[in-house]
Copies of this chain bind each other. A is one copy, B any other.
Amino acid sequence: MTADDLVSLRRDLHRKPEPAWREFYTTARIVEELESRVDLDELHVGPDAIAGDHRLAVPDDAELAAWYERARGAGTDEAILERLEGGYTGAVAVLEKGDGPTVGLRVDIDGLPREESDDADHLPAAEGFRSENDGAMHACGHDAHATIGIGVIERIAESEFSGTLKVFFQPAEEVIGGGKSMAKSEHVEDVDALLAVHIGLDHPTGEVVAGVDGFLAVSHLEATFTGEPAHAGGHPERGRNAVQAMATAVQNLYGIPRHSDGATRINAGVVEGGSAANIVPEEARIVAEVRGETTELMEYVRSNARQVLRSAAEMHGCDVEIEPGAEAPSATSDDELVSIVADVAARTDGVDSVLERDDLGGSEDATFLMEAVQENGGTACYVGVGTDHPGGHHTSTFDVDEPSIGYGVDVLAGSIERVGLENR
């Protein structure tokens, strides 16, 4: 792919951001692009690419159906679309090139449920490739990741690499919902070395991080408070106010004590409650996430959060149901791969700064795949590819500095070739 091809593909994907498990257009577009560019040995799509039973945080049928229809309306290939029905998205592309190690590359492909900026300063708006899907946006660069995945497999197809390359186009990373289902699929079992990639992360264009570490273990939880409605003017005393319970919980969730063993996080990311101004709210909901530098720290926060939610409900005479949500472990890159990536990056045109290991401080469900490969005796490395991004990740003005996409392809393809050479 030329630099123009990369930009053009990335922009097409950017226009059609699809949140977790709704990557219908995106998966189909990836499949079409792969088929038109590379002579693959295997291409597993949707239910064949993942272990469907291990999907986490799948939206309800109505939501899936609405996005399915939207994808159909956008002209998605019907044959591919049908294979994805019910929210079985993603793909695994396999290229066999003789003897040698099996190298995996994992890229994620989902968008975020947030509105994209339409400021004139925001390049996608200015250049006409802003999101066409209201309320959704590629605000974390997964459009670039998918593009890199395709660029790398084409490059390897044309290279001297000897071995097998598997590219994992993983759905639903943003809800930490897809990593586990991909890690549990048979495709990961024989991977000897796994690379995962993320663009940006506050590193500028031209900088590469060989070995992003410091992934926080993470867990989602959703609490639903149920009280009693009442007429807010006529009989306020008859209500059991689920919104008061929720607000009390939010205040105290953020007040869970810090821990001396390491970093913790808490976020009440989505809340809602009540039905009308004049009804004492009978229902309210919090979608929260907790994180910790270790699984124990995450569990410390989670256990405190449960207590806060239960007591807040009880305080206001409400019931609360707490549903466990998606989870992901922590993971650390292996020295061997870190060295290879660092060395290749240092020799790559356009890369002017290479860091060996740097902390992320966020979470990622690539850790499921890394853990699976490492448990099988393989190695894994999470690679950061810097990109100048005007707005922060997950904000409405996030954007990718497009030359960095090519640098990503260069570093990753180069690293894969090197792994092939060193394990011959």
Binding site for B on A (CB under 8 A): 112-114, 174-175, 201-202, 216, 218, 220, 228-239, 241, 243-244, 246-248, 250-252, 254-255, 257-261, 263-265, 267-282, 284, 287-289, 291, 300, 307-308, 311-312, 314-317, 325, 360-363, 392-396
Contact = CB atoms under 8 A, between A and B. Distances in A.
Contacts of A288: 277
Contact of A233 (B261, B311, B363): B363
Given A233-B362, A258-B265, 9 more contacts: A113-B276, A234-B362, A248-B248, A254-B257, A255-B255, A263-B263, A269-B278, A272-B273, A279-B394
B250 A243 contact: yes
A231 B362 contact: yes
- Most B CB contacts (10 A, CB to CB) among A257, A311, A392 go to A257
Given A251-B248, A289-B232, A361-B260, A270 B278 contact: no
How many monomers of this chain does the complex have? Answer: 4
A311 B300 contact: no
A261 to B, nearest CB: 8
- Most B CB contacts (10 A, CB to CB) among A247, A263, A316 go to A247
A390 to B, nearest CB: 14
B244 A255 contact: yes
Contacts of A202: 235
Contact of A232 (B265, B272, B274, B308): B265
Contacts of A279: 112, 114, 267, 269, 394
B260 A241 contact: no
Contacts of A395: 228-230, 282
Contacts of A300: 237
A216 B233 contact: yes
A273 B267 CA distance: 12
A269 B259 contact: no
A271 B243 contact: yes
Contacts of A311: 311-312, 314-315
Contacts of A278: 174, 218, 267, 269, 289, 362-363, 394
Nearest to A326: B277
Contacts of A312: 311, 315
10 contacts: A232-B269, A234-B360, A235-B361, A236-B260, A237-B257, A247-B271, A258-B258, A260-B361, A278-B394, A311-B315
